[in-house]
Amino acid sequence: MNYLIPFLILITVVVFIHEYGHYYFAKKFGVGVTDFSIGFGKEIFGWNDKSGTRWKICWLPLGGYVKFFGDRNVFSQSEQENIIKKYNESDRKKLFILKPLYQRSIIVAAGPLANFVLAILIFAMINMFIGKDMTPAIIEEVQKDSPALAAGFKKNDKILFINNNKVESILEVSTFINTSTSETIEFKILRNDVNLVLLVKPNLVETKDALGNLVKKKMIGIKLSVSSNELERQRLGPTKAIYYSAKEVWFVTITSLNYIGKIITGSGDSSQLGGPIKIAKITGQVAEHGIVPFLSIMAYISVSLGLINLFPIPMLDGGHLMFYFFEKILGKPLSQKTQEGFFRIGLFLLFSLMFFVTFNDLKDLGLF
């Protein structure tokens, strides 16, 4: 229960923001919205607003949806004409399928984009009110027989860049090392006012993270210096806070895409992929450390949800955008047979992914 409640709060907020992105632009472009649901399945409770939208909470809290007036997949021009005949002139103005292609595209893309905006706002609030860590990454110790020692690292070296990522915080060192997709990592350091470039091949070690979970981490064998055992946090103004927040969201997005690319090519560690069970576990563990870590994990999950939904897989927002792209190129929607084929492929991919991450989650719990 300690893990379940924080997870439900997190997923409700992230899903609500995602669906509200769709809802906001649908209303802006005059599309009728019949349902706004958080969760799937049977309704727990809900209410109708003045415009006739049913706002509801359902039993399965692993997503949500916004249902548009007259919403369905239209496969052919003749079928579209038959559907239109069922509505009067006033109702036709509220049909999603009759809106210009650019408006439909914006409505669909608004959900994932809302997730990115939420993450930026969360990070910006933390940077402004709590502060961003600006502790310089200075090496205090290089361990014996370590990759770092073999690469030439020395005490008091200041780490400036890791794989061309500027290191502005001591906390970023481990992140940049472990998100690297190359076998050899490039470090740019400052030693006695001289810039040096060192290449190091990290060891892959199974260890425990700060929450006590077993993870595989890349280690190079250095200990960084923190004066008085305290991080140097600086409160940022709105402009800088948003800049660093957008930078963080961009880094998470690019890193995630690189990782997924490695998984697809078979060179990535797929055991680190997790699903709802793992997310719930980590969310509960993080929530025990306070509101700031909880908000941070919410931002990261929001980025992940937005990114995944942009993948060109039918049934996801990215799949609809892919269909709209073909519609723009061809001048008409894809045929019924073609769309049905894509949907079958998308359904297979989604179920395969759900099975795989659930297996990883259960294995992480020691059930396999």
User: Radius of gyration over alpha carbons of the chain, in Å?
Assistant: 24
Please, what's the b/e burial string for 315-337 (b: 16 or more CB within 10 A of its CB; e: otherwise)? ebbbbbbbbbeeeeeeeebbeee
Q: Give how far Cα 132 sits from Cα of 69, 86, 229, Å.
A: 45, 57, 16
Instruction: Please identify which of the residues 19, 168, 206, 248 carries the catalytic annotation.
Output: 19
Q: Write the DSSP symbol of residue 200.
A: E
Q: How far apart are CA 323 and CA 154, in angstroms?
A: 55
Angle between helices 336-364 and 276-287 (to 10 degrees): 50
Q: Work out the burial of residue 238: count CB atoms within 10 Å of its CB; fewer than 13 is exposed, 13-18 middle, 19 or more buried.
A: exposed
Are 7 and 33 a contacting pair, CB within 8 Å?
Answer: no
Distance CA 11, CA 29 (A): 27
**19 among known catalytic residues:** yes
Q: Do 186 and 177 meet the contact criterion of CB atoms below 8 Å apart? A: no
Nearest-angstrom CA–CA distance, 351 and 163: 35
Provide DSSP, 207-273: EE-TTS-EEEEEE--EEE--GGG---EEPPPHHHHHHHHHHHHHHHHHHHHHHHHHHHHT-S-GGG-
Neighbours of 103 (CB within 10 A): 17
Q: Would you name the residues annotated as active-site residues?
A: 19
